[in-house]
Amino acid sequence: MITIYHGSVITVKQPIAKAGRENLDFGQGFYVTDIKEQAERWAFRIGRQQQEIPLLNIYQLDLDEVITDFSYLKFSRYDEEWLDFIVKSRKGLKPWVKYDIVEGGVANDRVIDTVEAYMNGMMTVEMALGQLSQHQPNNQFCLLNQQLIDQCLQFISVEQINL
C-alpha cells in the first residue's frame, strides 16, 4: 500500500475515472500523486483561482494489486518515451487507452514550455530532452479504470490546507 494525495477544493470520497478532460498528460482519469507537497501546492493554486478552501484528499492505493491485476505504465524519468506519450495525449491521439493506470512526471508550467516548443517543431527531440533533464521530476498517477479505483483505492481522509 502507498499513500497518495489529490489536491482539490472538494472532498472526493469516490473518484470517477472519466470525470476529467481527455487531452491531459496521461489521459482522462483521476489524477493523484505520492508527493504530499505537490498535491498541497495544486490544491492551494485551485483554491486561490476559485476562491475556495484548498483540501488534501488522502488515499491508500494497493500498488501490488494494481501491478498484478491491471495494465500499468510507469515513466521513471523525462525521456523520449515520456515526451512522445505526452505529445500524443495533448494532440488527442489517446495513447493511454490500453492502460488502466499511468505513472510519471508532470508536464507542469516549467516543463510544458519545452513540450510545446517540441510539439511546434521549434526544438528537436535532443534539445527537448536536454531541457527536460534540467528539471526535477515530480510524480503523478492517472487512474484510468473505474474498476481499479473501486478495487484498489481507499479514501482515508480529507484535510484543509493552510499554507
Question: Does the pLDDT at position 74 exceed 80?
Answer: yes
Enter the pTM of the model: 0.85
Mean pLDDT of 110-139: 71
Residue 79 — very low, low, confident or very high, per pLDDT cuts 50/70/90? Answer: confident
Whole-angstrom Cα distance, residue 139 to residue 104? 5
Spatial CB neighbours of 150, under 8 Å, sequence gap ≥ 6 = none
Q: Domain span at residue 86?
A: 2-160
Grid cell in block for residue 109: 508550467
Cα 111 to Cα 135, 137, 159: the distances in Å are: 7, 9, 29
Per residue in 15-47, pLDDT tens? 999 887 777 889 999 999 999 998 998 899 889
Above 80 in pLDDT, residue 157?
yes
Q: State the DSSP code for 140.
A: E
Number of structural domains, the chain? 1
What's residue 80's pLDDT? 85
* Interval 75-104 mean pLDDT: 90
What is the predicted pLDDT for the residue at 133?
A: 67
**Average pLDDT of the residues of the chain:** 88
